[in-house]
Amino acid sequence: MARGPQAVLDASVMRILFITSSRIGDAVISCGILERLRLEHPRARFTVACGVVAAGVFARMPGLEELIVFEKEGFDLHWLRLWPRLVKRVWNQVVDVRGSGISLFLAAGRRKILKGGRRPGRRYEQLGAAMGFSPAPLPVAWTAPEDEAKAAALLGDGPVIGLGPTANWAGKIWPPERFVAVYQALLAQFPGARVAVFAGPGGQERALAAPVLAALPGAIDLVGNLTLAEVAACLRRCTIFIGNDSGLMHIAAAAGAPTLGLFGRSRADEYAPAGLRTAVAIAPGPAGAAPMEGLAVETVIAAARELLCA
């Protein structure tokens, strides 16, 4: 039987399939190993399969041939719907960050099925070790010149303090008035610094950010009106970003902004921001189970000042 043109490996074009998360934060964390693969294979063409919400993380990736998005469904039905979109091609390499095992049913020259689930240790280091990369590559944030130009127009010159007062779960959220207090304290170190408030799209994110915006009427409102690449470009221009454990926190660190992540009911030992200049402030109490209300303003101010002096 004759075989289709994509049913055999094309020696002239290397194609790599990368299956990653449906969440922004986990997708950003996986970008470190993806960028390492891209640098090792600069002429390869990449297909990335990810959740709808995380798609913007990869929109500006060099070498991206196709971005396949899927909606997460119960009983793992999304994998069954994804498989027909992937099976028509023979892949030189498949990397499955989700540990779904879908690559076992795809024609591939090489497969890397990385273990999923929660376990001790920094997630980006786990991914790097599973790929055999030492040291583990830090996450990256890809942007285009037009994203950087928009960020310059929005933030202008001078110091900008970025605040991320939202998260996908109420247990991760630090009280909004404390973000305001930290910004006001840092003004003594950066007189005239403006504040930019970041949050995702949708009414819930807007509502969570509203108290901070109301208390800081001159703030740059970056709530839900930017692409993820534009968000990364704006975060890159921040003097410091202070935010709850969220996708925005991970984007800030990947973009290179000095990033202070606030933790209480999530584990900093697994999901602390990974970047060149990062720090955490952790609420007192059991790891991953401490109420955010226990994290004092003074603790966050001290951590921010230490990070800025690093």
Give the residue-averaged pLDDT of 74-89. Answer: 82
Q: Is the pLDDT of residue 116 over 80?
A: no
- Of 156, 150, 308, 162, the closest CA to residue 233 belongs to 150
pLDDT band, residue 231 (cuts 50/70/90) = very high
Q: Identify the structural domains of the chain with CATH numbers, from first to last.
A: 15-131 (3.40.50.2000), 145-309 (3.40.50.2000)
Q: Any residues with CB less than 8 A from the CB of 200 and at least 6 apart, and which?
A: 166, 223, 224, 247, 248
**Long-range Cβ contact pairs of 201-207 (< 8 A, separation 24 or more):** 201/225, 205/166
Question: Measured between alpha carbons, how far is 163 from 197 in angstroms, rounded to an integer?
Answer: 5
pLDDT of residue 100: 85
Contact 137, 32 (CB under 8 A): yes
Q: Is the pLDDT of residue 6 over 60?
A: no
The string of pLDDT tens digits covering residues 27-69 is 999 999 999 999 999 999 999 999 999 999 999 999 999 999 9
pTM: 0.94
The string of pLDDT tens digits covering residues 8-28 is 555 578 999 999 999 999 999
